[in-house]
């Protein structure tokens, strides 16, 4: 008995020398702990454990063993003390059990914004797997096929975990993509509450530095897509390790890393990874072989990337142009818009490819192309006409909503697809039940802005259907949407009684005049007030709206060349006025006063002595390209309404296109304005007066 007692105490003494009750550990910026004192002779401890397992008093010997737990959580810098927690368990070199309870994401935040992540272990009885019970490796594709939910994947992991852990996250993301939005939300809640989820996160962190780089990226991509908070230690650790191992990138990894960076919110580790990514791309751009990988890299490189890097990627894309598929050409617009690089050569070549293979092109792709063209300020009339003509030719196969989205994209570009808009108007008249409150506002905006109903045959039917549909939603429409709809009707010179009466109610006006967009609302209400006074409206002539005054725009410099031409043509600046302002807030670049026969220009001093009825007022408007529909002389909605109102005020309107005037020589510019100002009969006399001056 004394020999056994002596052996017992000797064993206890040996164990106490091997396992101290507390150690100090250093916490690194990512929360990865490294012991300050490293014990290299762990084999001795393992051998000791194995020897003691054969004894019947093993639990008595190790009831005071310890595991480590940080009592301060995650720290970015400095040293934290890691204390020891007492457990009644054997402490040997082994993997962690999978029925333990852990907590990955805490709600507390440290000073730098990262959430504290503490792992608490309650170790199970099944501690060590021997070689006979080690599970076989399972792929993410097999997991995603065999499992029907995210919880099924976690159950599989808890029963028999395999390396690498990335397969489980990738399988969960693959399954999540198959679910509806409601199912996805429910499954994510179950995932976060699953007992094995925290252990899977811990395993992924442990394996980050040893798993293949592509599996590391697959893990990070799936974790981000599954909605795990970006400011957790798990995500930030994977970001840091990804940055440290970025030189291991190949073509596949570049593509995945591009997708990951595109999906992540800005933070310090993301910025650092982005910077490293740009350096790597700059070094390896000529080695990229796959076109899709090249486009993914270009899309991810960012709008603020150096211009030299953008040009290098452009040259690489031009080099691979012969290998572009139709999908590559369609995708190139969005890629160039994402990096904010306007490469006319690439855009022109891809436009030809898109038009040459337009049949079967999804409408979503067309809308993306048009949006990218707007972002890049790329106005290819042939491309726009080709897309519009294709949709007009196959109009019957497209849904109402999709055609409307396409028309909105065309309106953003200022392009008027006449045939397509006519067909859409016809469908609205034939199917008024397709209208709802949201698309009514959009349709009115598109048609009024592009001034499309000006000469349409079924204009009255279209406007009546739209007004009737809007009237049906007056009980639930917001004051802002109602004002936008009425403003659109004003641009189209149509004034439905019920919507206007509803808009002019005191409570509606009060809400509009106290909203955050009061300035825009006041401007539109002034336009409405002007329409009610100037246009041919029977029921609203006597209405007087008490509206705040619009702030007058600062005087702009008149077109210098037009000023010089008018001075030369009319005999000095005393024969015309500059920067004339008229209510509600209309600006006229130049005003000329003539006799009613347009034979003679009157000087400003002679006007007072002349009867008002004998004067013809001429408004010269210097117009930019944006006032017209794209590549046409068709005025857009506001300019058309302004011309209509100036005519009602007694003006004759002359439009002078700025870009055309800048191209003309002085003599040609004078001849151009002379034909615009004088009547045909007065032109010879005006020529004589011009020669005398």
Q: What is the DSSP string of 160-178?
A: S--S-THHHHHHHHHHHHT
Look at the block and give the residue holding tokens 């650092």.
272
pLDDT, greater one: 81 or 384: 384
Residue 353 inside a domain? The answer is no
In this predicted structure, which of 542-551, 599-608, 625-634 has the lowest mean pLDDT?
542-551
Q: What is the pLDDT of residues 635-690, one digit of tens each?
A: 999 999 999 999 988 899 999 999 999 899 999 999 999 998 887 655 554 444 44
Residue 272 inside a domain? The answer is no
Cis peptide leading into residue 165 (ω within 30°) = no
Q: Rounded mean pLDDT of 456-471?
A: 89
- Residue pair 252/214 in contact by the 8 Å Cβ criterion: yes
Domain count, the chain: 1
Name the β-bridge partners of 68: 84
User: Which helix (H) or strand (E) element contains residue 323?
Assistant: none
Q: Rounded mean pLDDT of 318-337?
A: 95
Has residue 62 got a pLDDT over 90? no
Q: What is the pLDDT of residues 407-452, one digit of tens each?
A: 999 999 999 999 999 999 999 999 999 999 999 999 999 999 999 9
Has residue 100 got a pLDDT over 60? no
Percent of the chain past pLDDT 90, that is, above it, reads: 53
d(CA 165, CA 670): 79
Q: Rounded mean pLDDT of 132-142?
A: 66
pLDDT at 544: 63
Has residue 86 got a pLDDT over 90? no
Residues in the chain: 693
pLDDT, greater one: 137 or 475: 475
Q: What is the 3-state secondary structure (H, E, C) of 81-132?
A: EEEEEECCCCCCCCCCCCCCCCCCCCCCECCCCCECCCCCCCCCCCCCCCHH
In this predicted structure, which of 117-121, 227-231, 362-366, 543-547 has the lowest mean pLDDT?
117-121
Has residue 364 got a pLDDT over 50? yes
d(CA 343, CA 569): 44
pLDDT, greater one: 350 or 582: 350
pLDDT, greater one: 596 or 383: 383
Residue 305 inside a domain? The answer is no
pLDDT at 133: 47
Q: What is the pLDDT of residues 665-675, one digit of tens each?
A: 999 999 999 99
d(CA 257, CA 249): 9
- By residue range, what is the domain housing residue 576? 560-678
Q: What is the pLDDT of residues 102-123, one digit of tens each?
A: 334 433 434 344 444 444 444 3
pLDDT at 432: 92
- Residue pair 591/576 in contact by the 8 Å Cβ criterion: yes
User: Which helix (H) or strand (E) element contains residue 24?
Assistant: strand 23-27
pLDDT at 3: 57
Residue 596 inside a domain? The answer is yes
DSSP state of 628: B
pLDDT at 89: 35
* Residue 595 φ then ψ, to 5°: -75, 165
* Residue 86 φ then ψ, to 5°: -85, 130
- Residue pair 199/156 in contact by the 8 Å Cβ criterion: no
Has residue 316 got a pLDDT over 90? yes
Number of H helices, E strands in the chain: 32, 9
Name the β-bridge partners of 67: 85
What's the distance, Cα to Cα, between the start and end of the chain in Å? 136
pLDDT at 144: 84
pLDDT at 351: 96
Residue 625 inside a domain? The answer is yes
Other beta carbons within 10 angstroms of residue 615's beta carbon come to 16
d(CA 528, CA 505): 14
Q: Which of 489, 543, 531 is nearest to 645 (CA)?
A: 531
Residue 135 inside a domain? The answer is no
Residue 3 C-alpha from the chain's centroid: 79
To the question of pTM greater than 0.95 for the whole model, the response is no
Residue 183 inside a domain? The answer is no
Residue 618 inside a domain? The answer is yes
**Average pLDDT over the chain, rounded to whole?**
79
| Three-state secondary-structure class, residue 455 | coil
pLDDT at 40: 38
Has residue 6 got a pLDDT over 70? no
């Amino acid at each position: 008995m004394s020999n056994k007692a002596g052996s017992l105490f000797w064993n206890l003494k040996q164990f106490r020398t091997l396992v101290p009750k507390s150690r100090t550990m250093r916490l690194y910026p990512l929360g990865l702990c490294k012991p300050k004192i490293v014990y290299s002779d762990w084999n001795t401890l393992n051998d000791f454990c194995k020897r003691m397992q054969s004894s019947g008093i093993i639990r008595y010997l190790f009831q005071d063993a310890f595991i480590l737990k940080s009592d301060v959580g995650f720290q970015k810098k400095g040293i934290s003390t890691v204390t020891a927690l007492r457990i009644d368990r054997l402490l040997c070199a082994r993997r962690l059990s999978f029925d333990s309870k852990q907590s990955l994401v805490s709600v507390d935040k440290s000073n730098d914004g990262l959430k504290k992540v503490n792992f608490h272990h309650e170790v199970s009885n099944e501690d060590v797997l021997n070689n006979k019970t080690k599970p076989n490796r399972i792929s993410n594709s097999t997991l995603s096929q065999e499992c029907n939910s995210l919880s099924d994947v976690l159950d599989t992991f808890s029963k028999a975990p395999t390396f690498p852990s990335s397969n489980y996250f990738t399988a969960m993301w693959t399954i999540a993509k198959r679910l509806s939005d409601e199912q996805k939300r429910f499954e994510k809640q179950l995932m976060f509450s699953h007992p094995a989820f925290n252990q899977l996160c811990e395993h992924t962190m442990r394996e980050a530095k040893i798993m293949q780089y592509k599996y590391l990226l697959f893990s990070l991509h799936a974790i981000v897509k599954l909605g795990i908070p970006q400011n957790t230690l798990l995500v930030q650790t994977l970001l840091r390790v990804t940055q440290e191992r970025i030189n291991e990138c190949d073509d596949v990894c570049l593509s995945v890393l591009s997708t990951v960076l595109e999906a992540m919110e800005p933070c310090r580790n993301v910025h650092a990874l982005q910077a490293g990514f740009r350096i790597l791309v700059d070094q390896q751009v000529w080695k990229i072989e796959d076109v899709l990988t090249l486009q993914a890299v270009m899309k991810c490189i960012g709008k603020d990337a150096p211009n030299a890097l953008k040009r290098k990627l452009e040259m690489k894309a031009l080099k691979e142009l012969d290998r572009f598929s139709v999908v590559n050409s369609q995708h190139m617009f969005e890629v160039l818009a994402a990096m904010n690089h306007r490469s006319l050569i690439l855009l022109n070549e891809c436009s030809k490819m898109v038009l040459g293979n337009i049949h079967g092109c999804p409408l979503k792709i067309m809308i993306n192309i048009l949006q990218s063209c707007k972002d890049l300020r790329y106005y290819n009339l042939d491309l726009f006409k080709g897309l519009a003509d294709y949709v007009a030719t196959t109009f019957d196969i497209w849904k109402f909503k999709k055609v409307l989205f396409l028309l909105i994209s065309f309106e953003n570009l200022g392009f008027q697809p006449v045939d397509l808009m006519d067909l859409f108007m016809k469908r609205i008249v034939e199917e008024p039940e397709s209208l709802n409150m949201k698309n009514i506002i959009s349709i009115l905006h598109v048609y009024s802005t592009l001034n499309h109903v000006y000469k349409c045959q079924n204009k009255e039917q279209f406007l009546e259907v739209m007004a009737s549909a809007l009237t049906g939603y007056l009980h639930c429409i917001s004051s802002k949407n109602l004002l936008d709809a009425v403003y659109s009707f004003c641009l189209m010179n149509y004034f439905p009684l019920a919507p206007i009466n509803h808009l002019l109610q005191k409570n509606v006006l009060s809400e509009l005049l106290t909203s955050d967009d009061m300035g825009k609302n006041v401007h539109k209400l002034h336009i409405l007030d002007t329409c009610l006074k100037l246009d041919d409206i029977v029921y609203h002539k006597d209405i007087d709206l008490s509206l705040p005054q619009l702030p007058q725009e600062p005087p702009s410099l008149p077109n210098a060349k037009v000023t010089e031409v008018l001075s030369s043509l009319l005999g000095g600046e005393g024969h015309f006025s500059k920067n004339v302002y008229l209510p509600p807030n209309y600006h006229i670049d130049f005003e000329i006063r003539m006799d009613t026969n347009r034979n003679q220009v009157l000087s400003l001093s002679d006007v007072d002595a002349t009867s008002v009825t004998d004067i013809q007022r001429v408004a010269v408007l210097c117009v930019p390209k944006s006032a017209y529909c794209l590549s046409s002389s068709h005025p857009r909605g506001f300019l058309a309404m302004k011309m209509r109102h100036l005519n009602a005020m007694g003006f004759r309107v002359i439009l002078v296109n700025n870009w055309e005037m800048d191209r003309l020589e002085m003599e040609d510019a004078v001849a151009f304005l002379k034909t615009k100002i004088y009547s045909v009969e007065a032109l010879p006399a005006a020529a004589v007066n011009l020669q005398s001056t």
